[in-house]
Amino acid sequence: MIAIVDYGMGNLRSVQKGFERVGHSAVITNRVDEVEQAERIVFPGVGAFGDAMANLKAAKLIDPMVKAISEGRPFLGICLGLQLLFSEGEELGNHRGLDVLPGRVRRFPEGERVPQIGWNQIHIQQETPLLTGVPDGSFFYFVHSFYVDPVYEKDTLALTDYGVDYTSIAGRDRVFGVQFHPEKSQDLGLLLLKNFAEL
């Protein structure tokens, strides 16, 4: 079972439909037991970092997600879901994240139009099964005002240029996070979802 974690932040149905289009069923859930039993976990999100962490804590979803990651179950964070994998974020104050990947979530530098909305390229830094069949330089659809800054270079799987070269795909072992929205990124986005479902 693929569990799409519902903590009140994001358009989860579009992610679910993306998996259905590539032949994989996924369940939208906020139930601790379903997250605990899931073979794969997808963690989407749109909104503010601190609010999201508060929602996760209130729903008692933090421990089962971190446990799933520690057990090596495939995990995919999308947009805010990527950012929450990191240690802390600076959106509307300083907030602790899940601290699965060491690093900080930062606002784009002054002078860049924020949020970044639209298509931008990824530049692959490391081979990963998540990107099987996805060419270097491919375009994906982004909507965000903050970016992740990992402590360790090895956690950066792809970079994107928007005023700074920032990490647009992060990962380690079977934990992955993408800053863009694969469910809105046409064929290559669907291919990425398919790759995740078939890890």
CATH class of 2-197: alpha beta
The predicted pLDDT at position 90 comes to 87
**What is the residue extent of each domain of the chain?**
2-197
Q: Of 79, 91, 95, 144, which residue is the catalytic one?
A: 79
Scored b (16 or more CB within 10 A) or e, 154-178 reads: ebbbbbbebeeebbbbbbbebbbbb
Tens of pLDDT along 35-90? 999 999 999 988 889 899 999 999 999 999 999 999 999 999 999 999 999 999 98
User: In angstroms, rounded to a whole number, what is the distance separating the alpha carbons of residues 190 and 199?
Assistant: 14
Residues of the chain with pLDDT under 70: none
The predicted pLDDT at position 47 comes to 85
- Does the active-site annotation cover 181? yes
Q: Of 34, 88, 181, 198, which residue is the catalytic one?
A: 181
The predicted pLDDT at position 9 comes to 81
The predicted pLDDT at position 111 comes to 81
